[in-house]
Structure 1
Amino acid sequence: MGENRQLLGKLIVIAVAMFGFAYALNPFYRQICEALGLNILTQKDGTVAVDGNTQVDKSRDVTIEFDGNAQGPWRFRPTVSSLSVHPGELTTVTYEVVNTQPREMNAQAIPSYAPQNAMQYFKKVECFCFNQQTLKPNEARQMPVVFYIDPKLPRDVKTITLSYTFFEVGGGLVKTAAQ
């Protein structure tokens, strides 16, 4: 029994030593990589280095125009009317909606694009149009659209218009006992 305890003690010491060695190796590895210029994750000032997106086509600009239409009792508009972007560049724009009614309402936004062939190059990563929105009485909300323009966009397309129509879902019908 004594030999087993002695072996267990040695194994625990070895496991702790291996953990300590692995823990100490991380800063050593980082210093070697920085010295050799390999896989640099931090800059000299300690901030994380982020390489630019190599898929961004900085040789051209595309103007994106934003429009908002409301079908129903809403105030709905983009917070900017247009932006200039490079194809491949991740961009965020915000739309603002206000429920002007004293009741909760469900709504949905449907996008449209001009020119029509630009739709296949307009890539939305995040959009309020993906889901129905429920707005409380008189609630105002900022809703983002995160997108990029595919660099394969034909060079003759210089301007794209993104327009949303925001409309009530369900029409606000109230069921009565007779229905």
Structure 2
Amino acid sequence: MSTQHAHSDRAFNRSMLFKLIVVALLMFGFGFALVPMYRAICQVTGINNLVQRDATEAEARNTQVDMTRTVSVEFDANARGLLGFKPEQSSLDVHPGEVMTVMYDISNNEGRTIDAQAIPSYAPKQATEYFRKIQCFCFTQQTLQANETKRMPVVFVVDPKLPKDVKTITLSYTFFELNKPAVAKAPKQSAGA
């Protein structure tokens, strides 16, 4: 009777092991499936659309310029670490539908090459869908050599469908270093030293 019990335990253990392996493989596969699912959901909903071109230049030039109104676009720049980052002008008055260019200066004040990325944000939030970037340094990572300074353009158009009550749009960028090296900790000194 004990051998029959041992065989039934082995069969149960094999069955349980098989089930656990199947569950682990399904979980692993689901983890890989999440990335394309996330991208598809973001593309459909327009969420996390930070580094994609908003419009082509041809699409932007096909809009009608609304000469009856002016929108003030303010430019803000923030940088993490030893990056110097600023717009060449703090604001610009534009007519909706007019293609405009503003220049930003970024400088690497580190003694080493860095890779950096800019992330845009807009205020008021409702202006986000009406501010279309045609060309922007935020679309790709930027590599800056040690002590290098670059001038980079942002070509944009404010959609004429922007609600009439929005008179000012703030375009703000945060520039931060990617894959920043870890800072080595100083060795602890002994109490007797």
Alignment match of 1:92 (pick from 87, 97, 101): 101
For residue 128 of structure 1, the aligned residue among 111, 116, 137 is: 137
Q: Is the 8 A contact 1:105 1:172 kept in 2?
A: no
Aligned to 1:73: 82
Paired residue for 1:12? none
Q: What are the within-5 Å matches in structure 2 for residues 44-123 of structure 1?
A: 55-123=64-132
Distance 1:53 1:111 in 2: 25
* CA distance 1:133–1:54, change in 2 (3 Å): closer
* 1:107-162 Cα shifts (integer Å, max 9, x gaps): 00000100011000000000000000000000000010000000000000000000
TM-score by length of 1: 0.67
Letter of the 1:167 partner, please give it: F
Q: Distance in 2 between matches of 1:122 and 1:96?
A: 21
1:8: which partner in 2? none
Paired residues in the alignment total 124
Higher helix share: 2
Moved over 3 A (4+): none
In structure 2, the partner of 1:37 is none
SS in structure 2 opposite 1:77? strand
Shift of 1:99: 0.1
Q: Please give the root-mean-square deviation of Cα atoms over the aligned residues, in Å.
A: 1.7
Q: CA contact under 8 A between 1:53 and 1:89: conserved in structure 2?
A: no
Distance 1:111 1:136 in 2: 23
Percent identity among equivalent residues? 61
SS of 1:111's equivalent in the other structure is strand
What residue is the counterpart of 1:166 in the other structure? 175
**SS state at 2:129 partner:** helix
Deviations 1:78-110 (A, max 9, x none): 000000000000000011000000100000000
**Structure 2 stretches lacking a partner, 5+ long:** 1-60, 184-193
Alignment partner, residue 49 of structure 1: none
Q: Which amino acid aligns with 2:88?
A: T
**Deviation at 1:53?**
6.5
